[in-house]
Amino acid sequence: MVHYGHSNQLRQARAMGDYLIVGVHTDEEIAKHKGPPVFTQEERYKMVQAIKWVDEIAPGAPYVTTLETLDKYNCDFCVHGDDITLTIDGKDTYEEVKTAGRYRECKRTQGVSTTDLVGRMLLMTKAHHSNIDEDLDYRKHTDNFGKGPKGHSPWTGVSQFLQTSQKIIQFASGKEPQPGDTIIYVAGAFDLFHIGHVDFLEKVHQLSERPYIIAGLHFDQEVNRYKGKNYPIMNIHERTLSVLACRYVSEVVIGAPYAVTADLLDHFRVTLVCHGMTEVVSDKDGSDPYEEPKRRGIFQLVDSGSNLTTDLIVQRIIKNRLEFEARNQKKEAKELAVLEAMKKLEEKH
C-alpha cells in the first residue's frame, strides 16, 4: 500500500539531500518477498510520483539495494526507515550499502502501518474514528486477531496516530493563493488516498494554467453517514496528511461542511467547484450539497478515467488476505517439517 507513513518517510528523506529518487519494486518482487501487493506496480508508480517530495521514481527497483543501483542513479546515499527489512533468506537488505557508509535512516511514523489499516478493514468496527470512545470489544478482537505464535500482537488495533500541529506544518504547502490563480474547490472523504483520487486531482489540476486546489475533507461521522459500514477506514487526522502529501493539493479544509455553502465559496474566493463521477449523496435534509455552486454556474464534473474506489481496494485486500494467510501457513508448515526431520535425525544418533 501507499499511506501517509510512507509520505512522511519520503519527506524526511528529501530533507537529507537535494534530489530524491524513489525506487519502486515490481509486483513480482513484492509477491516473492512479502506477499501479494494491494496496488499494481503501475498504480504504485503513479501514486509515489504524486507525492510532493518525490523528484523522480526508479521503476522496477531491485528488492535488495546494492551499490550498483546507487551508482546507476548517481545517488550519494540511500535512506530507509528504522525498521529492519529482511530478504526471503533472512539477510538484511541494506547490508552492502551500510558497510560502504552510504546509508541513512529516518524515523518511522508512529501509529500507522499497512498491517493496522488492513486490520481495520477486516474488523468492520468504527473504533478508529475520531471522537468515538474506544470500543473494548474491538480491543479484544484485535488482540486475538493478530496474535502470533508467541502470543504477542503486532496489531495496534485502534488508530494510535496522534495528530500534532507540527505534523500538519511539515506536510502543508504553506502557499497562499496568488493573484491570477484559479481557486478550485473539491470535497469528499479521500479515504485510503489512492490512485483514483490522484487521477481525479491531476485532471482538476490540468483545468487551469495556475490552479490552487483546496480539498474539503468531511469529518468521520459525516463520511459514515453517506458511506455506511465502518467507513472512513482512516480518520480525519490521517486523511488530512494523506491529501496534503499530494503535489496537486495546495490547502485542506479539516472538517468541511457537507453542503458547499455561499459562505465557504466567498471565504475562499472559489472560482470553480469540481466533483468526480461518483454518486453524490443528498444532505441530511434531502438537498443537493452542490446546489449553490450549480446556481452560480461554477460546478463541473470531472472524469478521472479511473474506476478505482475505496470499496474496491477493501475488496482487493480481503481477497489478498486469504492468499497471504495461505502463503504464510505453507511457509510455516515447511519450517516445521524441517525441524521435525532434524529432531528425528538427532534421536537416531
One-letter-per-residue 3-state SS of the chain = CCCHHHHHHHHHHHHCCCCCEEEECCHHHHHHHCCCCCCCHHHHHHHHHCECCCCEEEECCCCCCCHHHHHHCCCCCEEEECCCCECCCCCECCHHHHHCCCEEEECCCCCCCHHHHHHHHHHCCCCCCCCCCCCHHHHHHHHHHCCCCCCCCCCCCCCCCCCCHHHHHHHCCCCCCCCCCEEEEEEECCCCCCHHHHHHHHHHHCCCCCEEEEEEECCHHHHHHHHCCCCCCCCHHHHHHHHHCECCCCEEEECCCCCCCHHHHHHCCCCEEEECCCCCCCCCCCCCCCHHHHHHCCEEECCCCCCCCHHHHHHHHHHHHHHHHHHHHHHHHHHHHHHHHHHHHHHHC
Q: Is the peptide bond before 177 cis (omega within 30 degrees of 0)?
A: no
Give CA–CA dist 81/83, Å, rounded: 5
Q: What is the pLDDT of residues 30-89, one digit of tens each?
A: 888 777 888 899 999 999 999 999 999 999 999 889 999 999 999 999 999 887 677 667
CB neighbours of 67 closer than 8 A, spacing ≥ 6?
Answer: 96, 97, 100, 102
Q: How confident is the model at residue 324 (pLDDT cuts 50, 70, 90)?
A: low
Q: Flag whether 30 is in a domain.
A: yes
Q: Is 335 exposed, middle or buried (0-12, 13-18, 19+ CB in 10 A)?
A: exposed
Q: Flag whether 292 is in a domain.
A: yes
pTM: 0.84
* CATH number, residue 175: 3.40.50.620
- Say whether both 107 and 170 belong to one domain: no
pLDDT at residue 150 in the model: 39
Q: How confident is the model at residue 243 (pLDDT cuts 50, 70, 90)?
A: very high
Q: Flag whether 279 is in a domain.
A: yes
- Say whether both 103 and 189 belong to one domain: no
- Say whether both 283 and 203 belong to one domain: yes
Q: Flag whether 275 is in a domain.
A: yes
Q: Which domain holds residue 191?
A: 165-301
Give CA–CA dist 129/268, Å, rounded: 28
- Say whether both 25 and 97 belong to one domain: yes
- Say whether both 191 and 70 belong to one domain: no
On the question of pLDDT at 154 being above 50, the answer is no
- Say whether both 176 and 283 belong to one domain: yes
On the question of pLDDT at 322 being above 80, the answer is no
The segment with the largest mean pLDDT, out of 81-95, 120-134, 148-162, 207-221, is: 207-221
Q: Flag whether 329 is in a domain.
A: no
Q: Which of 111, 127, 145 is the last residue of a domain?
A: 111
Q: Which of 269, 284, 301 is the last residue of a domain?
A: 301
Q: How confident is the model at residue 101 (pLDDT cuts 50, 70, 90)?
A: very high
Rounded average pLDDT over 261-274: 98
- Say whether both 105 and 173 belong to one domain: no
On the question of pLDDT at 151 being above 60, the answer is no
Q: How far is CA 5 from CA 1, 10, 267, 343, in A?
A: 10, 9, 32, 43
- Say whether both 177 and 296 belong to one domain: yes
- Say whether both 85 and 187 belong to one domain: no
pLDDT at residue 237 in the model: 94
Give CA–CA dist 303/275, Å, rounded: 9
Q: Which of 93, 111, 129 is the last residue of a domain?
A: 111
Q: How confident is the model at residue 268 (pLDDT cuts 50, 70, 90)?
A: very high
Decide: 63 and 34 in contact? Cβ < 8 Å: no
Please report, rounded to a whole number, the percentage of residues in the chain having pLDDT higher than 90: 64
- Say whether both 206 and 101 belong to one domain: no
Decide: 196 and 303 in contact? Cβ < 8 Å: no
Across the chain, what does the average pLDDT equal? Answer: 87
Q: Flag whether 81 is in a domain.
A: yes
Residue with grid cell 469528499, as numbered in its chain: 188
Q: Flag whether 19 is in a domain.
A: yes
- Say whether both 292 and 172 belong to one domain: yes
The number of folded domains in the chain is: 2
Q: Flag whether 335 is in a domain.
A: no
- Say whether both 181 and 255 belong to one domain: yes
The segment with the largest mean pLDDT, out of 102-111, 229-238, 239-248, is: 239-248
